[in-house]
Amino acid sequence: MDYEQVIAKIYEEVKPFWGQGKVADYIPALAEVNPRQYGIAVQTLKGDTYQVGDAGTRFSIQSISKVFTLAMVTRHLGDEIWKSVGREPSGNPFNSLVQLEHEQGIPRNPFINAGALVVTDRLISLYDRPKDAILEFVRGICGNDDIYYDKHIAQSEREHADRNLALAYFMKSFGNIKNDVETLVDVYCHQCAIAMNCIDLARAFLFLTDRGLNPYQQEQILTVSQAKRLGALMLTCGFYDESGDFAFRAGMPGKSGVGGGVVAYIPGNLSIAVWSPELNQHGNSLIGMETLERFTTDINNSIF
Amino acid sequence: MDYEQVIAKIYEEVKPFWGQGKVADYIPALAEVNPRQYGIAVQTLKGDTYQVGDAGTRFSIQSISKVFTLAMVTRHLGDEIWKSVGREPSGNPFNSLVQLEHEQGIPRNPFINAGALVVTDRLISLYDRPKDAILEFVRGICGNDDIYYDKHIAQSEREHADRNLALAYFMKSFGNIKNDVETLVDVYCHQCAIAMNCIDLARAFLFLTDRGLNPYQQEQILTVSQAKRLGALMLTCGFYDESGDFAFRAGMPGKSGVGGGVVAYIPGNLSIAVWSPELNQHGNSLIGMETLERFTTDINNSIF
Amino acid sequence: MDYEQVIAKIYEEVKPFWGQGKVADYIPALAEVNPRQYGIAVQTLKGDTYQVGDAGTRFSIQSISKVFTLAMVTRHLGDEIWKSVGREPSGNPFNSLVQLEHEQGIPRNPFINAGALVVTDRLISLYDRPKDAILEFVRGICGNDDIYYDKHIAQSEREHADRNLALAYFMKSFGNIKNDVETLVDVYCHQCAIAMNCIDLARAFLFLTDRGLNPYQQEQILTVSQAKRLGALMLTCGFYDESGDFAFRAGMPGKSGVGGGVVAYIPGNLSIAVWSPELNQHGNSLIGMETLERFTTDINNSIF
Amino acid sequence: MDYEQVIAKIYEEVKPFWGQGKVADYIPALAEVNPRQYGIAVQTLKGDTYQVGDAGTRFSIQSISKVFTLAMVTRHLGDEIWKSVGREPSGNPFNSLVQLEHEQGIPRNPFINAGALVVTDRLISLYDRPKDAILEFVRGICGNDDIYYDKHIAQSEREHADRNLALAYFMKSFGNIKNDVETLVDVYCHQCAIAMNCIDLARAFLFLTDRGLNPYQQEQILTVSQAKRLGALMLTCGFYDESGDFAFRAGMPGKSGVGGGVVAYIPGNLSIAVWSPELNQHGNSLIGMETLERFTTDINNSIF
């Protein structure tokens, strides 16, 4: 079977899972989404794109944006960032304050909310217009200039940002946030509200699949080592408290968002983005996780 | 450079790190070891063995044995074992009771002590003579019948097993230990006291490198899927609270023991064992971890 | 109203609460008890005894015994014991291991199981025949030689002591248990299995009500200061995670046991014991707690 | 000895402890205080005032203000407030977020910062001009109209309120803060910055000593039951993680502040305020705690 057939088959097999998960409701704007949507896009390093279902429908990428901001900051700061953020799985739900307190304001990793806030804080220090810079970066890596913030989602995020404000002030009390907290949370709410479709997202992970080289601009935006390390981080920490389980079942580095998107990739080979809004108990797309597990099984390939 | 040259170069570079770590002292018999020992062995799937330093000296494999018992139990019970043990990184030191209590006697993963005790408990239910069965399994996968328990170490372990007794009784109170606790701890203390050298250990991981096929007996002892999943577990949980960091820096699945041994492998390619008794703050061989990071850098290969 | 009338009135008011709680079932022998039993006994310093309901029926005193062993050890060791046990409320369920781990094997207070085990461990070091010594002490303070261990309960406790074995081995791993763990748990299971009735228990707390003076033997068994301090400990830690609430509602020092007994006292005035086997969510006698709150309200007296 | 002599004696005995503690430095304005100050004031219900040392010097009452706001809110809301705040000792440092997360935004008790923020939040809902209302209340209970906010301290508090902002936003995310967080933290910083001397403070606790009756306005501002319960709360929770120890050693309900003030009282008898800025490791005035322990010993009276 080729990729086209594989994803078509999985699409039919997994579609019946609709209704088993639950759309994110922590912000009203996300809760408005029609749950019965499901798309898959595969992008190979050779340049082929395969898609099925709602692969062309835009959705809110949410935490997937954490990979983009981390790549931007890593590019400028290198290992400097690891003085302020750890690299260990958290062993706790994604917005937990417990470990943060225990470790004196140093988040466990850059993919829990606390860690992503520190990364965005550093990004704000690096760019005069951070919101523009983020858009420009994302457009560059997916080769599509038509990427924007969903202002309605961003606004709704901002109105329900109490937990992130708490995290940011808490870390500021330890000296690990440098910029104004209100500004930080504004930028952070915007990055989560970037709207992309599965095809955009699969392409946006090509620079990681190709170990740092952005094929759309023929530019090495991360060193090979940096790209590999970002992959290791995704494998160990990319799916909140289900990271170990996802590595076990699917065997690929990847990242999910509460908007229902999941992206993963096999280095040197391909990237795949799946979207379906209903989440499982860990906050990851139920259909997305199931799809990826079947994908590596069916193509008989993973990183292990 | 070929592997021979790579490990010889690393050996010279890393040897000066002697004295920066600290030999395990939680049992007297381990504390007696001469700290200034260092060996590396590389075993390729093609059948070549490369070695440097004290690669032929035996040492206590300690927690590396957890991989062997898990393979034995997985082989018989398949996914059944995952009802009693989790698959997530622990986010806590390796003998922590906190998470165990929080999760009602279900250990986070099979590589923390609590999880390994559950695995050994199931193994005891499977075999009439579990200590013999473990030795036989290990001899089979490394192709060396001359593998034994170090009785002196096993005895010392047993005399200082209060923490493991506490863990076992605690899980028994939740119904997650089925056999007599004294028997369980005796078997567990023995498995930790298996004496092997780097060459044995590198070879013992070939069945994982070859995705389940034991080359010494031409037997598929795990399914491809089981072998890959064991690899994913090692990558996310194999190095206690330094697992994320090791994945980040070295990018290979592996397992360490407080005896100073570390084994890792690149699926489809090679396995490598390093031994040096001095441990870093996370309880992993300081020189071992450094060696493996340099190894994947120098051969320019990792799973990412 | 005199005390006779007060307890008769409360007895009628609170009896209808039968059925709202749940008899302890962590050991089979306790679960066998008929839940619909309820007795109250008041003992004044002047020498009067008042009773109602099943005040003459014996039951298993369970954790109330912790007060007796602590008094015995305090008498011999004085402040020495506080090097091994803390004096702070635990903020966690009574058999939690979390705090114990955090504080390196030093239990938060002598009324959580871990703390009581340390106290009994020290008692074993003090007496050649600790089980006889405990009985003798209890007989002496309640003026009744007819006090025994309930062997059936003790046996059942011992058979289900996994959690306490875990606690004891855990503390032994920190060096805070000095005697053989099996012996310790045997003595501990016996002290919990002392059978007394409400009248015995109310009398057994007279030495605390009278600030150290045992009226049955006219002997100052604790100094005034020691007796007062034991009272403070009961007020802050006597009712597991409901201690603050009980102090708030009833305003007396006291101690409960999962057998359904509760004893409390107003220094210089009287002691009161209540028994009813059904427990509330915190593990304290539901009817007992309600009775004591109404008692201090009705007699318009508390320590505040 | 009369009270005059007792406090004079203690003053001489304890003064040599200067230098053993450390002035609070979490806000710059508090760190400016001269550490070598020490005052004691005793106020009896009969109306006598005794003082020694710097009893007339004003200082920042800090957390002692939590008793005043709680009394104000209790007076209006009665038991309603206990739906939003618990009554159990925290078992954790005073500004911990761990337990707050575990208990879904309900602080353990009204004397940890989180709990006090909830109380002040409710007070803001009750009063149009909450800052004026607090001052008016405090003036009324100590019979002194010359009580003000120290604006310099209040300003410094506000500039270093990141931790309290984090706590407030965190609880708001659970729905347990009703008013604007910035406003809340402003009022809270002011209440902590009330400046009073030992004589004022001892008098301000007379309404609790007299079980709810404010002697300066002959008004029952709390019911007897409410006053007693506030006393029980102070005994179990008034001194952060040293509450159990203070109950054990001094045997009185009381409250401390990081400004170095401590107030305590014996119901129906007297209240006592001590001030000395150097704090012990638990954040309580080292000399204040020592003074109160000696006081109950020397007058041979406590609540137990």
pLDDT of residue B180: 97
Question: 3-class SS at D149?
Answer: strand
For residue D217, CA distances in Å to A135, C251, D82, D213 come to 66, 27, 28, 9
The kind and range of the H/E element at D196 are strand D194-196
pLDDT of residue B6: 97
B237 contacts on A by Cβ (under 8 Å): 244
Mean pLDDT, chain D, whole residue set: 94
Q: What is the DSSP secondary-structure string of B57-113?
A: --EE-GGGHHHHHHHHHHHHHGGGGGGTS--S--SS-TT-SHHHHHTTT--S-TTSH
How far is it, in rounded angstroms, from Cα B237 to Cα B66?
12
pLDDT category at B96 given cuts 50, 70, 90 is low
ipTM of the complex: 0.90
Share of chain C above pLDDT 70, in %: 98
C100 contacts on B by Cβ (under 8 Å): 97
E-strand ranges in C193-299 read 194-196, 213-214, 219-220, 254-256, 261-266, 270-275, 278-279
Please indicate whether, in this complex, the C-beta atoms of B169 and C165 are within 8 angstroms of each other.
Answer: yes
Mean pLDDT, chain B, whole residue set: 94
* Helix then strand then coil, % of chain C, to nearest 5: 50, 15, 35
Q: Is B209 on the interface with A (CB under 8 A)?
A: no
As given in the structure block, the two tokens for residue B226 are 């089981």
Q: Is B165 on the interface with C (CB under 8 A)?
A: yes
Long-range contacts of B48-55 (CB under 8 A, 24+ apart): B48/B3, B49/B199, B49/B202, B49/B203, B50/B3, B50/B4, B50/B7, B51/B7, B51/B198, B51/B199, B52/B7, B52/B8, B52/B11, B53/B11, B54/B198, B54/B275, B55/B197, B55/B198, B55/B199, B55/B273, B55/B275
**Domain ranges, ordered by start, for chain C:** 3-298
Q: Is C51 on the interface with B (CB under 8 A)?
A: no
For residue A85, CA distances in Å to A114, A116, B246, D190 come to 9, 9, 15, 35
The catalytic residues of A are 63, 66, 188, 240, 258
Q: Which residue of C has its CA nearest to D232?
A: C248
Please say if the pLDDT value at position B75 is more than 70.
yes
pLDDT truncated to tens, each residue of chain A (304 aa)? 799 999 999 999 999 999 999 999 888 999 999 999 999 999 999 999 999 999 999 999 999 999 999 999 999 999 999 999 999 887 665 456 767 877 889 999 999 999 999 999 999 999 999 999 999 999 999 999 999 999 999 999 999 999 999 999 999 999 999 999 999 999 999 999 999 999 999 999 999 999 999 999 899 999 999 999 999 999 999 998 899 999 999 999 999 999 999 999 999 999 999 999 999 999 999 999 999 999 999 999 999 9
pLDDT of residue A96: 66
C-alpha radius of gyration, chain A, whole number: 18
pLDDT category at D32 given cuts 50, 70, 90 is very high
Q: How many CB atoms lie within 10 A of CB D153?
A: 25
As given in the structure block, the two tokens for residue C294 are 């109404």
pLDDT category at C214 given cuts 50, 70, 90 is very high
As beta bridge partners, residue A275 has: A39, A261
**In CATH terms, is domain B3-298 a member of 3.30.70.1150?**
no
C167 contacts on B by Cβ (under 8 Å): 166
pLDDT of residue D91: 63
Please say if the pLDDT value at position B213 is more than 50.
yes
As given in the structure block, the two tokens for residue C56 are 């003459």
Q: Which of residues 167-206 of D touch A (CB under 8 A)?
A: 167-170, 172-173, 181
As given in the structure block, the two tokens for residue D232 are 């029980």
Q: Which residues contact D258 (CB under 8 A, 6 or more apart)?
A: D24, D26, D30, D62, D63, D279, D283
pLDDT of residue B198: 98
pLDDT of residue C18: 92
Please say if the pLDDT value at position C106 is more than 80.
yes
Average pLDDT (D211-235) is 95
Structure confidence by residue, pLDDT tens digits, D229-244: 999 999 999 998 899 9
How far is it, in rounded angstroms, from Cα B35 to Cα B21?
9
SS3 readout for A44-59: ECCCCEEEEECCCCCE
SS3 readout for B173-204: HCCCCCCCHHHHHHHHHHHHCEEECHHHHHHH
pLDDT of residue D241: 85
pLDDT of residue B49: 98
pLDDT category at B176 given cuts 50, 70, 90 is very high
Please say if the pLDDT value at position C232 is more than 50.
yes
Q: Among residues D14, D38, D66, D285, which one is catalytic?
A: D66
Please say if the pLDDT value at position D89 is more than 90.
no
As beta bridge partners, residue D45 has: none
pLDDT category at D1 given cuts 50, 70, 90 is confident
Beta-carbon contacts below 8 Å between A and D: 51
Structure confidence by residue, pLDDT tens digits, C22-71: 999 888 999 999 999 999 999 999 999 999 999 999 999 999 999 999 99
E-strand ranges in C45-193 read 49-53, 59-60, 148-149
pLDDT of residue A94: 47
How far is it, in rounded angstroms, from Cα A63 to Cα A240?
10
Known catalytic residue at B169? no
Alpha-helical segments (H) within chain D? 3-14, 28-31, 65-77, 98-102, 113-126, 130-142, 151-159, 162-173, 181-192, 198-204, 206-209, 224-237, 243-249, 286-298
Structure confidence by residue, pLDDT tens digits, A22-62: 999 888 999 999 999 999 999 999 999 999 999 999 999 99
pLDDT of residue C92: 62
Q: Which residues contact A49 (CB under 8 A, 6 or more apart)?
A: A41, A42, A43, A199, A202, A203
Average pLDDT (B23-33) is 91
pLDDT category at B94 given cuts 50, 70, 90 is very low
pLDDT of residue A93: 57
Please indicate whether, in this complex, the C-beta atoms of D91 and C87 are within 8 angstroms of each other.
Answer: no
How far is it, in rounded angstroms, from Cα D147 to Cα D195?
7
How far is it, in rounded angstroms, from Cα A49 to Cα A271?
10
Q: Which of residues 70-109 of A touch D (CB under 8 A)?
A: 96-98, 100-102
Q: Are A65 and A194 within 8 A, CB to CB?
A: yes
pLDDT of residue D94: 47
How far does chain A reach from its first CA to its final CA, in angstroms? 21
How far is it, in rounded angstroms, from Cα B255 to Cα B238?
5
Determine the Cα angle at D269 with ends D263 and D275, to 5°.
20
Beta-carbon contacts below 8 Å between C and D: 108
How large is the angle between the packed helices C181-192 and C130-142, nearest 10 degrees? 20
How far is it, in rounded angstroms, from Cα D255 to Cα D264?
6
Picking from D101, D167, D181, the nearest residue to A98 by CB comes out as D101
Q: How many CB atoms lie within 10 A of CB D130?
A: 24
As beta bridge partners, residue C262 has: C256, C274
For residue B121, give the DSSP letter.
H
* Helix then strand then coil, % of chain B, to nearest 5: 50, 15, 35
- C interface mutation test: which of B100, B104, B170 has the most C CBs within 10 A? B170
Structure confidence by residue, pLDDT tens digits, B81-92: 999 999 988 766
pLDDT category at B37 given cuts 50, 70, 90 is very high
pLDDT of residue C94: 47
Strands A148-149 and A194-196: antiparallel
As given in the structure block, the two tokens for residue B256 are 């360490």
Q: Are B34 and B80 within 8 A, CB to CB?
A: no
pLDDT of residue A100: 80
Q: Are D256 and D284 within 8 A, CB to CB?
A: yes
* One-letter amino acid of A190: H
Q: How many CB atoms lie within 10 A of CB B120?
A: 30
